Amino acid sequence: MADGSLNDKLCRASASGNLSEVLLMLQRGADVNGLNEFKRTALQVVMLGHTALVEALLDAGADLSRCDPVLSLSVTHDAAREGFVDTVRALMRHGADVNVADQLGNLPLHLAAKEGHLEVVKLVIEQTANPQTANKQGFTAGQLASAHKKKDTAEYIDAYLCSH
């Protein structure tokens, strides 16, 4: 079992997007699912735009099912909300479930739609069991896109729903 300081170093390297340092920490015995001082794993704090780093953590056995203790956000929720389509794609290739809701009832689809991340919406809508699912505030992904003036995203979701 890796010590806490090694896990902290792994998490810091992951958060800063330092792939070579992450690989070194893993080689030195850091637990890929070990918690840092803030009770987060390296995957939970990863710099999401660094898909190769996300892949390295996943290949090392990072737990995709672990959710943040604050709102039960998964790393897939985070990547979808921020629009990192390649990261979302990598997470899905490794088995990420886009049908898991956070504490507010948001699926990754809701968060991507709200922010207008059309490429992420196109990716996750195909795997979303019911793209018309409402969150706990009663909004569907399409309604969130419309309410936040993400016209292209709202139109895409409407067209998708009409064709399926």
Whole-structure pTM value: 0.92
Which pLDDT score, from 0 to 100, does residue 1 have? Answer: 44
Which pLDDT score, from 0 to 100, does residue 2 have? Answer: 52
- Choose the final residue of a domain: 46, 63, 80: 63
How far is it, in rounded angstroms, from Cα 46 to Cα 125?
24
Number of domains composing the chain = 2
Do 73 and 147 belong together in one domain?
yes
Chain position carrying tokens 């706990």: 136
Chain position carrying tokens 């015995």: 29
Cβ neighbours of residue 11 closer than 8 Å, sequence gap 6 or more: 36, 40, 41, 42, 45
How far is it, in rounded angstroms, from Cα 149 to Cα 116?
8
Do 98 and 150 belong together in one domain?
yes
The residue range of the domain holding 82 is: 65-164
Contact predicate 69/102, CB 8 Å? no
Do 98 and 22 belong together in one domain?
no
Chain position carrying tokens 């792939």: 19
Chain position carrying tokens 């792994």: 10
The enclosing domain of 131 has a CATH number of: 1.25.40.20
Contact predicate 105/136, CB 8 Å? yes
Ranges of residues in the chain whose predicted pLDDT is under 70? 1-4
